[in-house]
Structure 1
Amino acid sequence: MKKKIWIMDFMPFLVVPLWTSILHLDFVKGSFVVDVTQSSYQAEENHNITLEWTFTTKPDTSLSALKVFCSLNNGHKYWTFYHLFDGVEFSEDEEFSGRVQSDKDALREGRIRLQLSRLRTEDSGLYLCEVDTGYGRGYNSCRLTVSGKTIHLYTCDHCKVWTGLITAVVVVCFVLILVILRFNERPECDDDDDEEEEELVPHRLLTR
């Protein structure tokens, strides 16, 4: 009986540290968060765009301690468009070679800013970034839609004005050409009349 009482007396001292450890682990796990500033982006082909993620950071975190792995899933294939390991940045796929730039100063502040240049329609898809800081790990994703260039057909009032002006110019030019042609024909007729008169004069003199 005394033995049972001794165990029961020490049960609170065994249970409390266990619950404290569990709560501490949950707190540490929940304190690290990876988030996106926008859930979706839209851009046109051949333009540039900046995708951004945020993560929980500490003041003494160095770039060499960060591990960032970012990939694209466009529904047909997976691409690794950005990878940070031991402070070195690179892209594993040639599709994004030379088209991805990161802001290292933003990384120190807990922000992943990746600029994608010369966008293509096949760049559309789900962009996922996974972050490992050594004291926390998480990931989040956003969607990018790249549309092709559209040809705009302008049917505005300005176009109608220009069409009217061009038509008027063509009509005026046509009238001027007719006037010039008509003017050039008249002197030839006068010369013919003079020749006929000169031919008639000797004939009259002879008849006399």
Structure 2
Amino acid sequence: MFQILSMLLLETQLYVVSALFTVEVPQQLYVVECGSNVTMECRFPVNGSLNLQLLTVIWEQKRQGQSKSKEVYTLRNGKAFPPSQHRNYTGRAALLHSELKQGRAILQITSVKITDAGSYLCLIDYQGVDYKYITLEVKASYKRINTQVMRKPAEDKFVFTCQSEGFPLAEVFWQNEKNFNLSGSVNTTYTVTTDGLYNVTSILTFKPNVSENYSCVFWNKELNEETSARISTLALMSTQYSGQKSLILFVIPMCVMVAVLPSALIIFHKRKSFKNGQPKKDRKRKLNPNLKDENRDDFNSQTEALYLSTVTASRESGSVGL
């Protein structure tokens, strides 16, 4: 409950003066993305120059379903009052003091969390008392979806996993390229983080068609927002057949080596035998210079016979001519 408000209203009891002192808000609803910064403003009449020593500004936050409010920031008699600030806003919530002279009480909250959403009270006590409420809504889209593909051992099935964080709680369903919902075994669970986000994990187990791609879709009904992540079949193929490819890459070179090795050995032995026989002939010629090469004798005898036959034929032709 806003105890400070009740106390201050009871203390003043100057309804005529309070009626003349009015707090206004230029914007009643703020919608921001989780992790961003927000500035919420309420305005009050200064009536000339501002006397900070007479000014009290109180910002409080109350979430739906909670009975107690949290003090976000307090300026009492022109000075900040940190002891009353709730620990959830320590180092994140501040009042822009430079704007107070213009009658603007601007509350700035950095790194907005889901737990910051709720109703905010802006109470001003300065020559009168008045307050207004401002609503802050925080949304967190399921932008980053982490995917994983695994193959179940000894089974012809695959396990697809999609995980993401967001707010509010999203529904998850699986589709193929034709936007048909998959009928495999789906298990979707969630937990709540310390920042109030929903950590949603969806697991699909089924026998896929490797010619298609698949998607997990996160549907945020309250935000009317849909985000998805695609799982490529190339990852499936590489996971499924990587072992077979490795085996083929090992077997083919081995078969080539087995086929080529005997031929290489035969050629090697023939060359070695030829080289070993050649020096023996050379050594025989050196030891016996008179030894004739049989091939050379055959060649000389054949040449001599051919020469005699040629001479004889020439003589016969000459005698006929005479």
TM bucket by the smaller chain? 0.5 to 0.7
CA contact (8 A) 2:25 2:41 kept: yes
Q: Which residue of 2 aligns with 1:67?
A: 56
**Partners of 1:46 and 1:177 in 2: how far apart?**
50
**Partners of 1:191 and 1:29 in 2: how far apart?**
106
RCO greater where, 1 or 2, for CA within 8 Å and sep 6 or more?
A: 1
2:110 aligned with 1:114: no
The structure carrying a bigger helix percent of its residues is 1
Residues 72 and 179 (structure 1), Cα distance of their counterparts in 2 relative to 1, 3 Å cut? closer
Identity %: 23
| Structure showing greater Rg | 2
Letter in 1 for 2:125: D
Q: Which residue of 2 aligns with 1:182?
A: 252
Deviation at 1:164, TM superposition (A): 6.2
Q: Which residue of 2 aligns with 1:132?
A: 125
**Partners of 1:165 and 1:99 in 2: how far apart?**
43
Letter in 1 for 2:21: F
SS at match of 1:127: strand
Q: Which residue of 1 aligns with 2:134?
A: 142
Q: Which residue of 2 aligns with 1:18?
A: none
* 1:13-28 superposed matches below 5 A: none
Letter in 1 for 2:59: C
Number of residues paired by the alignment?
Answer: 171
CA contact (8 A) 1:127 1:143 kept: yes
TM-score scaled by length of structure 2? 0.43
Deviation at 1:83, TM superposition (A): 1.1
> Which of 28, 34, 54 is the equivalent residue of 2:23?
34
Deviation at 1:119, TM superposition (A): 2.4
> Which of 28, 33, 36 is the equivalent residue of 1:44?
33
Q: How much is the aligned-residue C-alpha RMSD, in angstroms? A: 3.9
**Partners of 1:95 and 1:63 in 2: how far apart?**
27
**Partners of 1:190 and 1:72 in 2: how far apart?**
83
TM-score scaled by length of structure 1? 0.63
Unaligned runs of 5+ in 1: 1-24, 203-208
Spell out, residue by residue over 1:68-112, the C-alpha distance to the aligned partner (whole angstroms, 9 max, x if none).
122111131211111111211124122322221111111110001
**Partners of 2:61 and 2:87 in 1: how far apart?**
13
Spell out, residue by residue over 1:179-199, the C-alpha distance to the aligned partner (whole angstroms, 9 max, x if none).
786356434423313546759
**Partners of 1:177 and 1:37 in 2: how far apart?**
71
**Partners of 2:88 and 2:252 in 1: how far apart?**
69
**Partners of 1:34 and 1:52 in 2: how far apart?**
10
**Partners of 1:163 and 1:62 in 2: how far apart?**
70
Letter in 1 for 2:131: Y
Residues 67 and 178 (structure 1), Cα distance of their counterparts in 2 relative to 1, 3 Å cut? same
Unaligned runs of 5+ in 2: 1-14, 147-214, 216-226, 274-322
Q: Where do 4+ consecutive residues of structure 1 move more than 6 Å?
A: 162-168, 174-177
